[in-house]
Structures are given as C-alpha cells and as structure tokens.
Amino acid sequence: MAGLEKTVKKAFIRYTKKHYPQEAERIIERAEELFPTLYSKAPFIGGEENLMAYNLDMMIIAASFYEASDHRINGESFLEMGKEILHRFAFLRKIVNLNHQWQMKIFRNSMYRRYVPYAKLVDEKLSRGEWGNTWRVAINPRNTDEGVCFDLIGCPLADYAKKNGYMDLLPHMCAIDHLVPELFHAKLIRTHTCALGSDSCDYWYVGDKSSTVKEFEGKIV
C-alpha cells in the first residue's frame, strides 16, 4: 500500500477511534478483514504501473470501513476526514500560492509532464484490451492558457461503485477534490463528473483570486 493510501487508512482509523471509541477495535479489525474481499471485486487497472490506480485502492478502504461500521462511517464522514488530513498539510499555504504566475507555471509543467506520458501509456494498454476502463486523459480540452486543465474520461471508481452498491459514497469522495487546491490558494473548476452520470470528469485548476472562479460560480460540482 503506497504512501497516500496509508495516510487515508490512518485517517479512517483516527476517525473511528474518535467517534466510536467503544467499538473502534472491532470496526478497525473488521475493515481489515473485509478489504481483501472487496478488493477482489475490483477490476485490474494496472497496479503499480498505473499512476492513478491508488484512487481505486482508497475507495476500497472507504468501502471497508463503511461496511465494518454498519454504514455509519459514510460519505458525510469523508469530508471531516479530508479536512483533518489537509489540516496536517496547512503549512503548504505559506509556501505555495498558485495566484503567482511563476508558481502556476511550475505546477502546470509538472502536471502535464505527469499526464502526457500516462495518457500515451493508457492508450497503448487499452488498445491491447488491458487495464479495463481505467482513466483516459484529455490534456487541456478547453485550450486555455490559464491554470491547469484536463479531463479524466471513464472512471473505475464509478464502475466499482455502481457494481457493488456504493454510488451514494462516490459524490462525497469526489467532493474532497475541491479541498486539496485550498492548500495552494487555488480552486478546482469542475462542471461534470462520472459520479453524477457523465462519461468524464473535468478538472481546471486556477488561482483562487482569478476572475474565472466568479464566472463559474453556481456551475461547479
């Protein structure tokens, strides 16, 4: 289990101990037992070779605690955990501010260097019938010079949730994506998601002082 998945799992354990102290040991143990079974129901999307695969692992961690707690650790709980995790990294707000063009440029170059080769690799895998419905990437579909923009097409999380009865959890998990940019003085502009029935999720990160944020007010999901 990679670093981010471990961070998420620890957050679930802390949440369980805080809110269900009398039952925490049982819930945590049960979640551990459930994880392999729930994981076996997931499609293979490349494992460590797929830089996005950790997202599916995290969803299964969430599903494990959801089931182990008799559905009490649910979508509403995720927001509290997300805020708690991000609070631990609040120091980043003093270091990174994506309203500064030079910092946004570094961020943009870093993101595109990550996703361009990934997109090519996914196309190769899918052409051979591998990696199921893993995320495909469309780089900068808005053809904009502002911020960082890409679409993720297809979603193994949505597939897994639909197949196994976790669609009520998915929108809450997606909502956490809006918390992360706050660490960098940025906003995520997103107008559609697979969780809400689209065939893709759009991502457009801009500085939180950008006029673009106001333009999309009321349209962001």
Tell me the pLDDT tens digit for each residue of 6-22.
889 999 999 999 999 99
Are 120 and 107 within 8 A, CB to CB?
Answer: no
Provide the percentage of residues in the chain whose pLDDT is more than 90: 89
Tell me the pLDDT tens digit for each residue of 40-52.
999 999 998 999 9
Q: How many domains does the chain have?
A: 1
Is residue 109 pLDDT above 80, yes or no?
yes
221: in domain? no
Structure tokens at 221: 């999901």
- Looking at residue 127, what is its pLDDT? 94
The whole-number average pLDDT for the span 157-172 is 94
Please enumerate in sequence order all residues whose Cβ is within 8 A of that of 134, keeping only pairs 6 or more positions apart, or say none: 45, 46, 50, 52, 53, 122, 125, 126, 154, 156
Residue 2 binned pLDDT confidence (cut-offs 50, 70, 90): low
Task: Specify the DSSP class assigned to residue 120.
Answer: H
Residue 5 binned pLDDT confidence (cut-offs 50, 70, 90): confident
Is residue 63 pLDDT above 80, yes or no?
yes
Tell me the pLDDT tens digit for each residue of 147-161.
999 999 999 999 999
32: in domain? yes
Domain that holds residue 195: 3-215
21: in domain? yes
pLDDT averaged over every residue in the chain:
94
220: in domain? no
211: in domain? yes
Residue 218 binned pLDDT confidence (cut-offs 50, 70, 90): confident
Is residue 37 pLDDT above 70, yes or no?
yes
Q: Which residue has the tokens 């579909």?
A: 141
73: in domain? yes
155: in domain? yes
